Amino acid sequence: MMKKSIAYLGPPGTNTEQAALKYDPEAHLIPFPSVAAVASAVDTGIAAEGVVPIENSLEGSVNDTLDLLIHESRLLICRELVLDIENHLLVRPGTSAAGLKVIYSHPQALAQSRRFIERCYPRAHVVAALSTAAAVEEMMTSTEPAAAVGNSRAAELYGAQVLARNIQDRSPNVTRFVVLAPEDHPSTGRDKTSLAFTFADDRPGLLHEVLGEFARHSINLAKIESRPSKEALGRDVFLIDLEGHREDRLISGVLERVKASTSFFKVMGSYPKYEVPS
């Protein structure tokens, strides 16, 4: 049997690779340099599914993924995964802890470790990389005394030394990932649905009316936030995660009423709720 191909935010050694391995350890994993590239790989058939980060417990939503789902891609969320993240300070073997001039990492990892970096290396030049693994690659070839914020797998893959462990501002540091596919997941009875919507006009009570639809039918909202619509200043897209599947009779009816009161409405997928393994 041919292995399923899964695209992920690479290169090897990223936290997203760890999430993809957790999701399907038997799959053929294909690294791509950006969230948009992962989506394109699935859209064009290079991979059957794609794994990307969407939310971190310390730094909030991953905007690249949200903007892709709202504005650019027809792909749907078919699964969610949750991974404990441990950020380590990695250096070339033999590098001294004193005198580090540059620290590389993905902006999310840098933000998650802000307190450590500001306290221990306030004069270091912080450089954003496309991923935590790409940061380790850059650090290993740097001509200056450098470090990277990454995980232990990246250290093993690229021959780096762990200089400091668990430098994230708080523990647990948890990231939620989603699996993107052309279709979402059939109903399981324990599901979530993610949707996005906005309004054509701006008047008092619009959002309250929509939220009231969910409240009147006892539909629990697991999350609500907003993103700029990219159309006009002050016009936002509202994002909701609700408990239930879009094909459930109750949910389906409420979504139809919400859609009728909005100018833009998009279901980004229904999928099984992640449950911590017992």
Measure CA 97 to chain center.
Answer: 31
Buried b (16+ CB within 10 A) or exposed e, 101-116: ebbbbbebbbbbbeeb
Sign for the CA dihedral angle at 97, 9, 7, 77 comes to: positive
* List 116, 177, 197, 238, catalytic entry: 177
User: What amino acid occupies position 218?
Assistant: S
Compute the distance between CA of residue 17 and CA of residue 137 in angstroms, rounded to an integer. 16
Secondary structure of residue 85 in the 3-state scheme: coil
Neighbours of 188 (CB within 10 A): 11
Catalytic residue check, 132: no
Compute the distance between CA of residue 200 and CA of residue 263 in angstroms, rounded to an integer. 5
Strands 76-84 and 49-56, sheet pairing: unpaired
* List 16, 175, 193, 198, catalytic entry: 175
Q: Which residues are catalytic?
A: 175, 177
